[in-house]
Amino acid sequence: MTDYKLLCRQLELFAEEDPGFVPLLSNASALLWEALPDINWVGFYLVMEKRLVLGPFQGKPACIHIEYGKGVCGTAWASDETQLVADVHQFPGHIACDSASNSEIVVPIHFKSARGAVRGAVTAVLDIDSPLFNRFDETDKAGLEAFVKVLEAVLSYKTPVIGIASKEAPRTLDVLRTELEQVDAQLLALFEQRMELSREVGLYKKEKGLPILDSAKEAQKIQAAKDSLPEGLREGGARFQQLLMDLGKEVQKSI
């Protein structure tokens, strides 16, 4: 029988060294691959730009993109519920990345706010396949959901900029400027994504007859921005968050 408590503790130890989503999800998939018998694939799909995108995994090459509500993984995302599938061939719309897979379990993973509270948004799913029928049971479901709760508590979604040297390494002015340009490029890409999401929020509010301004929600977001930053950056972070919300409201008002 799989010792899920031990797996949770091992995951916590990995997170103490580096909670970044690339190393932590990589080691999480390796832990499960080594610990769970009779599986042929284990890994993660991340929510990116309205679909699931393949993340760290163990096993054969897999489907790269999965649409919302499609297959077992997309259904777990859309329903926000663990999918325990005894026979994948009987699952409507099953996506066969590996024809050898006969059963599957998928557990949704949720975003953790800067203050430690787990919010409702699904940001990824844990997916495990087996060549056996009825491989996963309620014990596995409970154990894997506990494993995911550890991930939700410790996982960091901060994206490192590839190619930036450590602070200890000597860096010239040109190198520093290049690093700033890389960070700016990431910020602009994220800004574009945020404005597109703001437009979708505006369309939803217009359809439902909801007001654009939500003062209570805005105050919560401002406070969350402050709480997520060190003392010297809190006021600047609050102004930055306010600016993003103001620009988002302009997009919504233009619909």
**17/139 same-domain check:** yes
CA–CA distance, 201 with 195 (Å, rounded to integer): 10
pLDDT greater at residue 99 or residue 108: 108
Q: Does one domain contain both 88 and 187?
A: no
Domain co-membership, 125 together with 209: no
CB 111 within 8 A of CB 119: yes
Residues 149 and 188 in one domain: no
Is residue 114 one of the residues assigned to a domain?
Answer: yes
- Predicted pLDDT at 117: 47
Co-location of 242 and 148 in the same domain? no
Same domain, 121 and 11: yes
pLDDT, position 134: 97
- Domain assignment of residue 241, yes or no: yes
Higher pLDDT, 38 or 179: 38
- How many Å apart are CA 218 and CA 158, to the nearest integer? 22
- Clarify whether residues 70 and 121 are in a common domain: yes
Residue 166 burial (10 A CB sphere; 0-12, 13-18, 19+): exposed
Looking at the structure, tell me whether residues 125 and 215 fall in a common domain. Answer: no
User: Which of the four pLDDT bands, split at 50, 70 and 90, describes residue 159?
Assistant: low
Please check whether residue 46 lies inside any domain of the structure. yes
Mention every residue, 6+ apart, whose C-beta is less than 8 A from residue 223: none
Same domain, 113 and 227: no
Residues 17 and 136 in one domain: yes
Give me the CATH number covering residue 141.
3.30.450.40
- Give domain status of residue 162, yes or no: no
CA nearest to 41, candidates 51, 21, 55, 53: 55
Q: How far apart (Å, rounded) are the C-alpha atoms in residues 54 and 62?
A: 8
H/E element, 247: helix 234-253
Per-residue confidence (pLDDT) for residue 183, from 0 to 100: 82
Q: What is the pLDDT of residue 77?
A: 95
- Lowest mean pLDDT: which of 13-27, 48-62, 178-192, 202-216? 178-192
9 plus 74 within the same structural domain: yes
- Kindly tell me if the per-residue pLDDT of 119 is higher than 80: no
**207 assigned to some structural domain:** yes
Is 159 within the bounds of a domain?
Answer: no
Look up the domain containing 141 and give its range: 4-154
Task: Give the CATH number for residue 204.
Answer: 1.20.59.10
Asked whether residue 89 carries a pLDDT value surpassing 90, the answer given is yes
Total domains, the chain: 2
Task: Please say if the pLDDT value at position 196 is more than 80.
Answer: yes
The verdict on 76 and 177 lying in the same domain is no
With residue 58 as reference, give the H or E element that holds it: strand 51-59
